[in-house]
Amino acid sequence: MKFFIDTANVEDIKKAYKIGVLSGVTTNPSLVAKEGVKFEDRIEEILKLVPEVESVSAEVTPDAITAEEMIAEANELIKINGGDKNITIKVPMNIAGLETCRYLNKKGVKINVTLVFTVNQALLAARAGATYVSPFLGRLDDISEDGVLLVSKIAELFRIHNLDAQIIAASVRHPDHVTRVAMAGAHIATVPYSVIEQLTKHPLTDQGMEKFAADWVKAPKN
């Protein structure tokens, strides 16, 4: 399973990129709004920052309701950074989003269908030509449903029917989510930097470091 970082914050993206685990970036209108910068400018900045990743998701705005409006926005987004091949257009899971997905697929543009909460939605997105489908597991857990189970069902369905779309486990809240979606067959988990940092930690690692440091003081030097 690959890691994408779920943020529009450049400092967090730099930190994750530096440690070599980053395969992509996902943003959404809420994450961009938090940054207080113009959406297109931040997407350009991110694309320039992480040229080696496979995908940087830029979502059509909530102002785009119809497929025509989503397509118009997508056609502007794909010009950013000189038509960067890594840009991935994120569309919501609805009829207009699927129509946009089909259009972009024919144009050879990568698409991430977001706000997926059922197996049927994932199937439709894959059939419409999505490169990625994003089930939101944390938000399902929030309403006492099983987000990881959804990921595992989608993975099984894609295997049975040989569907190429990759599953991005999204709305990931903690390290246990990461382990469980990896085991459930997600191709990618998109996670905030705080979760990447948590994944590196274990109390026995800290204790081991402290012991090495304490013993090293006693070691003869020269």
Of 18, 34, 85, 90, which is the active-site residue? Answer: 90
Which residues are at the interface with ligand E4P (CB under 6 A)?
6, 26, 28, 114, 134, 136, 138-139, 170-171, 190
> What is the Cα–Cα distance from 98 to 116, expressed in whole angstroms?
12
Active site residue 106: no
Compute the least distance from the CB of residue 112 to ligand E4P, in Å: 7
> What is the Cα–Cα distance from 208 to 23, expressed in whole angstroms?
30
> What is the Cα–Cα distance from 153 to 132, expressed in whole angstroms?
16
DSSP assignment of the chain equals -EEEEE---HHHHHHHHHTT-EEEEE--HHHHHHHTS-HHHHHHHHHHH-TTSSEEEEEPPTT--SHHHHHHHHHHHTTHHHH-TTEEEEEESSHHHHHHHHHHHHTT-EEEEEEE-SHHHHHHHHHTT-SEEEEBHHHHHHTT--HHHHHHHHHHHHHHTT--PEEEEBS--SHHHHHHHHHHT-SEEEE-HHHHHHHT--HHHHHHHHHHHHHHHHS---
Nearest by Cα to 126 from 177, 79, 187, 76: 187
Compute the least distance from the CB of residue 208 to ligand E4P, in Å: 32
Nearer to ligand E4P (CB atom), residue 26 or residue 81 = 26
Compute the least distance from the CB of residue 150 to ligand E4P, in Å: 14
Give catalytic residue positions.
90
